[in-house]
Chains A and B, each alone.
Chain A
Amino acid sequence: MGNKQTTFTDEQLEAYQDCTFFTRKEILRLHSRYRELAPHLVPLDYTNNPDIRVPLTLIVTMPELKVCQGPSEGRHCWRLDCRLTVCLCWQENPFRDRIVETFSEDGQGNLTFNDFVDMFSALCETSPRELKTIYAFKIYDYNRDNFICKEDLEKTLNKLTKGELTPEEVALVCDKAIEEADLDADNKLSFADFENMISKAPDFLSNFHVRI
C-alpha cells in the first residue's frame, strides 16, 4: 500500500500469510479497516503484538462501504485493494452476532486483530470446504454443546425468515430438517451428520463466503 510505517514486522506478516488465505497487501488493508472501527483503541504499530480487543458493539457498526459501481466509475475498480472492499452489511445480517461471537476468543464477540483476520480468512473464497463446514457448525450451534438440537434450529429458522412463519410451521420445518439430516437417530445433528448433509449441497461454498 505504500505506507512505510511499520505496522507489522516481516516475521509477523509471514506468519499471517502462512496462517490465512491472504496476501501481504490484503493483511495490511484489513489492519487499516480494523483500525477504522476504533482508532482510539487500536494502535498503528502492531510489532509487539498488543492485546487489544474491539468490542462487539463497534464491530457490528462496520459501515457498508460502497461497492465500486462498475465500468463507469472505472478508475476506482482497477486498484488491487478494491478487492478487499468488505461488502457485508452488518446492520441487517441476522447472523452477524453469531459470526462475530464464533470467531472471538472470549466468546463474547470482542475481536482481537488475530480473530478479525481469522474470520475473514475462514469466510473467503479460497478457504476450503472442510474449514467452512466446521465454522458453519459452530455458528449454528447456539448452546455450544457440539450438537445442533431442535432449539438451535428453531432459532436459526426464526432468524432466517424474520419470524414470518407460524410456530406450527417452524416446528414442522425443524422436524423435517432433523429427520432428513440425522443419520444416527438421536434427534439432533452431530458434526458428522452436518458434514454429510453439507457435502451433498453444491451451493454451500458459494453461499458461505463473504464477497470481498
Chain B
Amino acid sequence: MASELHSQHTGNSYPSDQQSLRLRQDSSPVSNQNYPQFNWSSSPAEDEVDNSGPPRDLRSIPLPMSLKRAVWQVQQMQVPVVSKVESWKWKKTKSLHKLKDRTRGFLYFITLWGKTLQKIGGNFGGGVQSYFLFLRFLVVLNFLSFLLLAGFVLIPSIVFRSVGTSLQNSTGPEECMNYNPNPEGLVVFYHYFLDFLSGTGFMEYSYLFYGFYNNTIVEDRSFSYNIPLAYLFTAVFYFAFCLICIIARMGTAARVAVATGGSAVGNYSKIVFIGWDYGCLGDQATKLKQKNLHYRLQVDLEEERLRKQAAALTLGAKILLYSLRVFMFFVALGLIFAAFYGIFEATNFSQSRTGEEGILGLIFEYLPSIVITAGNFVVPMLCDQIALVERYSPSTTVILALLRAVFLRLVSLGVLLFTLWRQITCEGDTNSQDCKQCQYNNKLYPCWETRVGQEMYRLTLFDLLITIAVLILVEFPRRMVVDNSSNMLTQWVGRQEFVVPSNILGLVYGQTVVWTGALFCPLLPFINTIKFVILFYCKKITLFYNCRPALKTFRSTTSTFFFLVVLLFGWGLALVVMIYSLAEIRPSMGCGPFRFFPSMWSIVPTSFYRLSQVTQEFLFFIGSQAFSIPLFTLSCVVMCYFIALASVYGNSVALLRSQIKLEGRDKQFLVKQIEKLKQLEMPKQ
C-alpha cells in the first residue's frame, strides 16, 4: 500500500493523470496552483507529530473516498511505530471525538421542536424558519424567567403565607388602606368565566397579581427572608437576565454579520452561487425556489432600472417627487398619531366605566386592547398604500414599512401606559384633589399596581384570542374558498402568504407587554410561555395547511439580528416603565408588599442598614470612588485593546485582499512570459 502511494509522487505534488477524474485533469500548468491539493510528498514522520489531527483532517480533505481509505490504512499501519504515550493520547482524542459526535446526536434528539423546524426550513425557507427559531427562543426565555420568579417570589410567598407569619404593621390614612377586592354576595356562574378573561373577581386577589403578596419579613434564628426585597431584586434581575440572553444571541448573529464585512459583495454573485438551497424538499418547493430566485434577480434588475431612471429625472420632476415624499411622510405620521389618539380616548373611556356588569363590562375592559389591535392592523395597510405613491426602491420600501410598524406598535403601548399613568397620578400633580391624600388616585385605584397588571394580562390574553380567532375564521375559510372555487377573483387573491415581519412584530409586542407587566403580575411569564407554545402550534398548522411559500423572501441571517434589535427596543420601553414605577410612584397602601414605603426602591436602603457593619462598609467601599474609578479605567483599557485588535484584523483582511489581486496579475504576467519564450524557442528548432 505504502509503495503504491509513493509511486504516485510526482514533481509538482500533483497526482498523475491515471488517477480518477475526480482529481481534475489540468488543461494548463497555471491552473494547478489554483486548486487546493493534498500534499502527497509530506513524509510519514510529519503526520505523527500532531496526532490529534489525523482523524479530523482526513474527513475534510477533498479526495475520493478510496484514496482517503488508503491514507487511513497507511496511518493505521504507522501508529504502532509511535511511542506508547503518544498512541494513548491519540486514542483518547479519538474517543473524545466519538463522544462529541454522540452528544451532538443526542442533543439534536432532545432539542425542542428540532425536527419541526427542519421541516419548516426545508419547505418554506430560512426566513420563515427564523421566525419559528425566534419564537422558540422566546418560549425558553419566558420559561426560565418563570422559574426565576417562582423560585424567589412565588414559592416563598406560598410557604410563608401558609405558615402564617405576622405582617409588618404600620398606619396610614384610613381611606388609602381601603381595599376590598373580594366579590360580594352571590356570584353568578358565568361571572367566573368573565373574571377569568378580565382578571377581576376571584382572579384579582390571587397569586396572579401584585396585590396579593404581603410584606412578610421572616426572621428566624438562622434564616431570614425579606419578601419585598426579594420581589424587587427578582424583578430587577429578571430584566438583567433577559438583557444578557438577548445580547448573547445578538452576539452570534453579529459575529456572522461582521465577518462577512457587511454587504461588500454584491447581490448578483450571491444569488447565483449561494441562492440555491440544496436541502429543498419536494417538487413544489423546488419549483418555488426557482421562481423565488427568478423573482430576486428581477428585483435586483428592477432596482438597477429604477436607479438609472432616478438619475435621469429632470430637476422639476425631482422636486415634485421629493415634495410628494415629504407630504406622504406627514400623512403617514398623521395616521399613526390618529391611532395614538384613539388609544388614549379608549383607555380613558374604559377606565371611567369600570365596574360594569356582564358582557358589556367585558367589552369596556377590553376596549384598549381592541383599539390597539385594530390600529396595528389598519395603519400598516394604509402605509403600504402610501408607499406605492412614494416610489422608493423596493428594499427601502421594505425597511421603511418595518420601521413604521415598529414605531406604531411600541409607541401605542407607550400611549396606553401614559394614559394609565395620567389617571393614577392625576397627571403627575400630587396636590390635586384626588391625589392629595395618598399621592395616587385611591378612589379610582385602591390598588393601582393590580390594575396595571390586569391591563397587561388582558392585552396578552386578547392577543392570543385574536390569533386563534383569525386562524379559525379567516385563514381556514380562505384556503377552502381558494381551493374549491375557480373564480378569477379568488385565484387572484390566492392562498395566504406567511408574512414574516408582521408576525415577528407581533411576538415583540407580546414580549414587551409581558416585560412591562411582570412587576405587577408575577405569573405573566408563565402565562406567556403557555401562550407562545400554543402560538407555535397554531402558526405551524396554519403554515402547513393554509399558506403558500412567499415569493418575496426574507434574508434570514441579517434579519435575526434585526429582530433582536427590535426586541431590545421593547425591553428598553419596559425598563423605563419599571424604573419609573420603582422610583417615582407611591406604592398602594392597601395592598402589596411595599405598602408602607414611600417608594418601592426605598426598601433597599432600609434593608441595607440592617446588614452587619462589615458588609455595609464593604458595600460602601465598592460604591466609593476609590474602587469605581480604577474599575472604570480598567474597562476602558480592555475596550481599547479590543478596538485595536479589531482594526488590526480589518487591516490585515484588506492587505490580504490586495495581495490576491496582485498575485493574480503576477500569474498572468508569468503565463505571458512563458508563452513568449515558447514562441521564441519554436522557430529556432
| Residues on A facing B (Cβ under 8 Å) | 15-16, 18-21, 23, 64, 67-68, 70-71, 77-78, 80, 83, 87-89, 91-95, 99, 102-107, 112, 114-115, 117-118, 121-123, 126-128, 130-131, 134-136, 138, 140, 144-147, 153, 156-157, 160-162, 164-165, 169, 172-174, 176-178, 180-181, 183-186, 190-194, 196-204, 206-211
Q: Are A201 and B270 in contact (CB under 8 A)?
A: yes
Q: Are B65 and A203 in contact (CB under 8 A)?
A: no
Q: Are B126 and A206 in contact (CB under 8 A)?
A: yes
Contact of A184 among B73, B268, B276, B667 (CB under 8 A): B667
The docked-state distance in angstroms from the alpha carbon of A207 to that of B256 is 15
Contact of A200 among B26, B62, B260, B282 (CB under 8 A): B260
Closest chain A residue to B656 by CB distance?
A196
B269 at the interface (CB under 8 A from A): yes
Q: Are A15 and B72 in contact (CB under 8 A)?
A: yes
The docked-state distance in angstroms from the alpha carbon of A77 to that of B22 is 37
The docked-state distance in angstroms from the alpha carbon of A211 to that of B265 is 27
User: Which of B283-291, B354-362, B565-573 makes up part of the contact surface?
Assistant: B283-291
Task: Knowing A145-B31, A211-B279, say if A94 contacts B294 (CB, 8 Å).
Answer: no
Q: Are A173 and B297 in contact (CB under 8 A)?
A: yes
Contact with A along B243-275 (1 / 0, CB 8 A): 000000000000011011100111011101111
B277 at the interface (CB under 8 A from A): yes
B678 at the interface (CB under 8 A from A): no
Interface size on B, residues (CB 8 A): 83
User: Among A23, A71, A87, A196, which residue has the most Cβ atoms of chain B within 10 A?
Assistant: A87
Q: Are B557 and A157 in contact (CB under 8 A)?
A: no
Q: Are B119 and A70 in contact (CB under 8 A)?
A: yes
Q: Are A89 and B280 in contact (CB under 8 A)?
A: yes
Contact of B34 among A146, A180, A200 (CB under 8 A): A146
Q: Are B119 and A191 in contact (CB under 8 A)?
A: no
B173 at the interface (CB under 8 A from A): no
- Minimum distance in angstroms from B550 CB to a CB of chain A: 16
| Residues on B facing A (Cβ under 8 Å) | 20-22, 24-28, 31, 34-36, 54-55, 58-62, 64-66, 68-69, 72-73, 101-102, 104-105, 108-109, 115-116, 118-119, 121-122, 126, 256-257, 259-261, 264-266, 268-270, 272-283, 285-287, 290, 293-294, 297, 301, 540, 555-558, 657, 660-661, 663-665, 667-668
Q: Are A196 and B276 in contact (CB under 8 A)?
A: no
13 additional A-B pairs beyond A146-B27, A153-B272, A162-B287, beta carbons within 8 Å, are A89-B282, A128-B60, A145-B31, A146-B35, A180-B265, A184-B661, A184-B663, A190-B31, A192-B664, A202-B257, A202-B260, A207-B126, A207-B277
The docked-state distance in angstroms from the alpha carbon of A194 to that of B59 is 22
Q: Are B281 and A211 in contact (CB under 8 A)?
A: yes
Q: Are A23 and B59 in contact (CB under 8 A)?
A: no
The docked-state distance in angstroms from the alpha carbon of A2 to that of B24 is 41
Closest chain A residue to B668 by CB distance?
A186
Q: Are A203 and B126 in contact (CB under 8 A)?
A: yes
Give the residues in chain A near B556, CB-CB below 8 Å: 203, 206
Task: Knowing A184-B667, A197-B265, A201-B260, say if A105 contacts B270 (CB, 8 Å).
Answer: no
The docked-state distance in angstroms from the alpha carbon of A168 to that of B116 is 42
| 8 examples of A-B residue contacts, CB within 8 angstroms | A87-B281, A89-B280, A92-B286, A145-B27, A153-B272, A173-B268, A183-B657, A209-B279
- Minimum distance in angstroms from A211 CB to a CB of chain B: 4
The docked-state distance in angstroms from the alpha carbon of A87 to that of B280 is 8
